[in-house]
Amino acid sequence: MTSLTITSRDAVTGPVLQIAGDLDHETAPELRKAVDGLTLTEGQLLVLDLAALDFCDSSGITVLLAARNLASEQGATIALAAVPANTARVLGIVGLDRVFTIYPDAATATAPRSTAH
């Protein structure tokens, strides 16, 4: 079992939390605390970069949903980036792949968006 490391950085679109290690019953409160400590403004995008995530159990999924709810309450949106295959599979099974916006990597998630359609 590995520990959880959370690194925060700011992007043009809003905060990015890089999550590394195991997101499970023991470590989920650490991510919850990090998310609760964020001040999001309306229109910002909170990106959870999961590129270095080794494991995610149901407690981890719950804290991802809590982060989504917090962002929504503050008028922001949330996206997951670089979701590992095992976590993507679980998200798909429970239908959360349709709830979260998912990007292949953090750079794509934080890239400026064109407003022209």
Q: Which CATH code fits 4-104?
A: 3.30.750.24
| pLDDT tens across the length of the chain (117 residues) | 569 999 999 999 999 999 999 999 999 999 999 999 999 999 999 999 999 999 999 999 999 999 999 999 999 999 999 999 999 999 999 999 999 999 999 999 999 875 544
Q: Could you tell me the residue ranges of all domains in the chain?
A: 4-104
How crowded is the C-beta side of 24, counted as CA atoms within 13 Å?
Answer: 8
Contact call for residues 15 and 46 (beta carbons, < 8 A): yes
